[in-house]
Each structure stands twice: as structure tokens, then as C-alpha cells.
Amino acid sequence: MTVALSDILIGVFSTTLQLSPFYLFAGMGEIVSEQSGVANMGLEGIMLMSLMTTFVVDYMTGNPWVALLAAIGVAAVIGALFAFTAIRLRMDQIASGLAIYLVGLGLSFVIFNTVYPSGLTPNYIPLPSLTTNWNVIPYVGIIFLKQNVMAYVSLVLVVVTAFFLTRTSLGLRVKAVGENPKAADNMGVNVNKVRFLATLFAALTFGVAGFYFAGNFVPGFQTDVIAGRGFIVLAMIYFANWKPYRTLFAALSFNIVYAAQNEYVTLSGFGVASVSTLFNMLPYVFLLALIPVFGRKARVPKFLLKPYRKG
């Protein structure tokens, strides 16, 4: 059986557009947070909690929008807790981030397992596609119209974040407290308040990313279901030098590589699983290869990971 090249390309592009928003939501939040000087390594833990909340609330209410609100709410609570430990208590951000990850990894499954001990759940009701008859336009329809609205919200968020960081006074203050908190403080900026807001914003985007994961990546909740994809966001924004549009590029190219190898592995139907796992490494190796190329010029926010104490 031969498969038309156009079908392959459609498959690759529609998968890319379907998967990238997860990285974009989380990436924009982590950019803002890290620009302010706070790195949240616990992002995958927060996402796991939001993802679990999404499924449970969706099953119970049948309404994905309510699930989205609940996912954001859970993320906000954990994010505020992280912000308190990292900013107010000046804890080591990496250590407390990893602790948040461990709590999220464990607690998400403990709660899910308590609510659905047998693992049998109702059907997950996803957000609808942009239009129900996305079939009407050939090629374009399946790539662009089959996605749900959150995919486009993520693209808008990239534009908004870029605008926010370069053109608004709050955005400039965010960068100032990450670059030189002392000077910002002298100029009358409340350093820790700005950092708290940036960290909280990041947590909200992790909540949305966790919500988006449901349906688009997996049909249901399992243990450790995000499987490191949250941590990949850290690599993406690092490679993108904390720039929103470059993160968009990183996310799209990572997912094109992912989708292409996925399509190839599926089509060639390797009898043994062995070769396919080598291909699975490609998107990650691709990101790694970019680090010496682009990461070389990386300009890390000067006070990233450094808590600020007034006076």
C-alpha cells in the first residue's frame, strides 16, 4: 500500500499544530517567570496536577470549560505555594521546584486513583473543533480547522507575551528585576511583588498546558503521563534565549521532527520496536544539537535563581 505524499505532509503538519500549543503555553509562562529571576522546575508537577484535575472535573461535569477553570485554579494554588517558598522564603529554586514536581507526580495519581480506583472512567469530552465540518476545505481543513480554539489561543499568547515583555511598563519591570533587582528596587519597583506576579502567571499557563494535554496527547490519565515533556519546555526556552517568537520556532520545529519521525515509524511498520525507539530520540537530539549553535549566545537573566532580599 502506498501512501500519498500529501497525506503524509498533512499528518505531519496537523500533528505539529496539535502538539505545539502545550509547549507554547508553558513556555510563555516560564519565559516571563525566568525573566523576572525565578525558574520553576516544578512545572511538570503542576501540569500533572492540572491534567488530573482536567480529567476528573470533565468526567464529573461533562463540561471542558469548567475543567479548564479547575485546572487553572489548581495550578494557581501550587504556583502560589512555589512562589512563596522561592521568593519569600528564598529557598533554592531548583530544589523546591523538584520537590513540587515530586509532590505533583505522586499526588496526581493518588487522587486520581482514589476517585477512580478501578481505572474505569466515563468518556472524556474534549473541546470542540473550530468548526464541526472541517472537512469542507480539503488539506487546509484537517490542519487548521480540526484544532480546538485553545491551539489558537496559544499562538495569540506568544504575540501577547512578546508585546508584554518589550512594550509594556510592567513587562520592562519584569525584565528589570531579573537583570538587576537592586537597581529596580532603587527605582521604586517592588521586586518581590513583580516576581510573585510573574511566577503566578507562569503557574496559570502551566495549568492551561496541563488542560491542553488532555485529549490532544492522551485519552486518559495514567501515572507519570506527561513523561518529561514538561521539562522539555525548559530546554526550548533556553535554546530560544527567552524570546517568545524563537520559542514558537523551537516548539514548531521540535514537533515537526517529532511528527515526521512518528509518521515514518507508523508507515514503515517496523516489525521490531527497536528501530522506532532510535527514531523517538530524534526530536531530543535535535534540540540538543541546537544548544551549542544557539545557546552559545544565550544571555541568561543575570539574577536568575538568585533570591532578593531588600536592604
What distance in Å separates the CA atoms of residue 76 and residue 109, rounded to the nearest whole number?
19
> Which of 180, 190, 241, 280 is close enough to bind another protein by CB under 8 A?
280
> Which of 60, 62, 92, 149 is close enough to bind another protein by CB under 8 A?
92
4 part of the interface to another protein, by CB under 8 A: no
Check: CB of residue 290 under 8 Å from CB of residue 42: no
For residue 115, what is its C-alpha cell? 476517585
Tell the residue number behind the cell numbers 520592562, with chain if given: 172
- Shortest Å, Cβ 73 to another protein: 20
Query: What would the DSSP string read from start to end of 261-289?
Result: HHHHHHHHT-SSHHHHHHHHTHHHHHHHH
Q: ∠ CA 165-167-173 to the nearest 5 degrees?
A: 55
> Which of 176, 226, 232, 240 is close enough to bind another protein by CB under 8 A?
232
Span 233-262, contacts to another protein by CB under 8 A: 234-235, 238
- Shortest Å, Cβ 8 to another protein: 23
> Which of 100, 202, 256, 259 is close enough to bind another protein by CB under 8 A?
100
Interface characters, 190-229, with another protein (x: CB under 8 A): ---------------------------------x----x-
- Shortest Å, Cβ 189 to another protein: 24
What distance in Å separates the CA atoms of residue 31 and residue 234, rounded to the nearest whole number?
9
> Which of 2, 118, 169, 274 is close enough to bind another protein by CB under 8 A?
274
Tell the residue number behind the cell numbers 506576579, with chain if given: 197
Residues, the chain, total?
311
Using CB atoms within 10 A of its CB, is residue 305 exposed (0-12), middle (13-18) or buried (19+)?
Answer: middle
Q: 148 by DSSP, 3-state: which?
A: strand
For residue 59, what is its C-alpha cell? 468526567
266 part of the interface to another protein, by CB under 8 A: no
- Can you give the binding site for another protein, defined by CB under 8 A? 41, 45, 85, 89-92, 94-96, 98-107, 109-110, 113-114, 223, 228, 231-232, 234-235, 238, 272-275, 277-278, 280-281, 284-285, 287-288, 291-292, 295-296, 298, 300
